[in-house]
């Protein structure tokens, strides 16, 4: 993953990644492998300290003038991105006795959306990192299947069985599906140059047509929209979020109905995932996130498109 070192330098003094935490309204379902991805637009314009004015936009010193929807509209106005986020826990978040630090608990509680006092789900690092590495492979082969549907190779048939691609048949209705998972890179806006969509690339995107069959320019700027944030904006600091994000983007030229959410069903049965009540976060210990993940990361069991 590209930005582990940047993330640690920003917020965790280069200490070692230990695991992840996610507040959730349905912690038992998440522990059992139900992960919901919601439209990026539902996360935009939220109040600080959770939301920031650059969520889903290219970073720019003056105003966020280009959003992820502006970029996707060059493909079609029907395309959409779906996200889910986690907070990373590092060695520096734990005391010498192994328990989580009080200031880390206080910081985490501030990051619980709208102070709902929700339970937290704790993941060993390999349960998440390996899981999304696998998902990126799965969706790579999904794109491959869409391209070679008329001439499947023996190698592809084997991959279809390994990655359980039959569970992704609903995605065949779309032109392309991509997935990215990474740590947020926090940018110093005081010294960073304006990060707008450059003129040449803007013209290339506007002239893009499906027959070009190359999404690299879309992926380049979508990555900037989703995985780059300011370290701070005014009195609010965002680098304390230690955020890890997964983004699934559906590219569709046809005017078909797009889902509101995507539910991934993952096999977390051997991943040592635990639940802590909101008032028991101080009981989290280093050993809770260093559980040996015998399953080597959650495996995809199914994917469901959820419509209104």
Relative to beta strand 228-230, strand 185-187 is: parallel
Of 178, 114, 111, 173, the closest CA to residue 140 belongs to: 178
Query: Model-level pTM?
Result: 0.87
Distance CA 188, CA 306 (A): 38
Are 171 and 142 in contact by the 8 Å Cβ rule? The answer is yes
Distance CA 203, CA 216 (A): 15
- What values do phi and psi take at 112, rounded to 5? -75, 120
Distance CA 275, CA 272 (A): 10
**Measuring CA to CA, how many Å separate 238 from each of 25, 152, 187, 276?**
23, 46, 10, 24
Show pLDDT as tens, one digit a residue, over the chain (308 residues). Answer: 222 333 334 445 468 999 999 999 999 999 999 999 999 887 776 666 566 777 888 876 565 578 999 999 999 999 999 999 999 999 999 999 999 999 999 999 888 766 678 999 999 998 899 889 888 888 877 776 666 554 555 555 666 666 666 778 888 888 889 999 999 999 876 555 556 778 888 889 989 887 777 899 999 999 999 999 888 877 778 888 899 999 999 999 888 889 999 999 998 888 889 999 999 999 999 999 987 655 556 788 889 999 98
């Amino acid at each position: 993953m590209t930005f582990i070192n940047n993330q640690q330098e920003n917020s965790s003094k280069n200490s070692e990644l230990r695991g992840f935490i996610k507040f959730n309204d349905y912690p038992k379902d998440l522990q059992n492998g139900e992960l919901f991805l919601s439209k990026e637009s539902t996360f935009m314009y939220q109040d600080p300290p959770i939301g920031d004015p650059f969520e889903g936009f290219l970073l720019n010193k003056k105003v966020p003038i280009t959003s992820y929807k502006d970029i996707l509209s060059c493909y079609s106005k029907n395309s959409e991105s779906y996200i889910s986020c986690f907070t990373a826990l590092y060695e520096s978040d734990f005391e010498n006795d192994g328990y989580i630090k009080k200031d880390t608990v206080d910081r985490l509680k501030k990051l619980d959306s709208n102070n709902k006092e929700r339970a937290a789900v704790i993941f060993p690092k390999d349960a998440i990192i390996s899981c999304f590495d696998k998902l990126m492979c799965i969706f790579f082969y999904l794109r491959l299947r869409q391209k070679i549907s008329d001439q499947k190779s023996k190698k592809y048939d084997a991959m279809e069985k390994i990655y359980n691609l039959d569970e992704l048949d609903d995605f065949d209705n779309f032109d392309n599906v991509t997935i990215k998972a990474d740590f947020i890179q926090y940018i110093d806006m005081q010294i960073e140059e304006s990060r707008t969509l450059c003129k040449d690339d803007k013209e290339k995107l506007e002239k893009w047509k499906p027959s070009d069959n190359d999404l690299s320019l879309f992926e380049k700027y979508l990555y900037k929209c989703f995985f780059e944030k300011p370290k701070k904006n005014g009195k609010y600091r965002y680098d304390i979020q230690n955020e890890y994000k997964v983004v699934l983007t559906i590219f569709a030229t046809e005017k078909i109905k797009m889902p509101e959410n995507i539910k991934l069903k993952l096999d977390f049965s051997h991943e040592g995932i635990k639940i802590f009540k909101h008032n028991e976060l101080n009981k989290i210990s280093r050993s809770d996130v260093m559980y040996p993940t015998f399953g080597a990361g959650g495996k995809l069991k199914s994917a469901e498109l959820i419509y209104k």
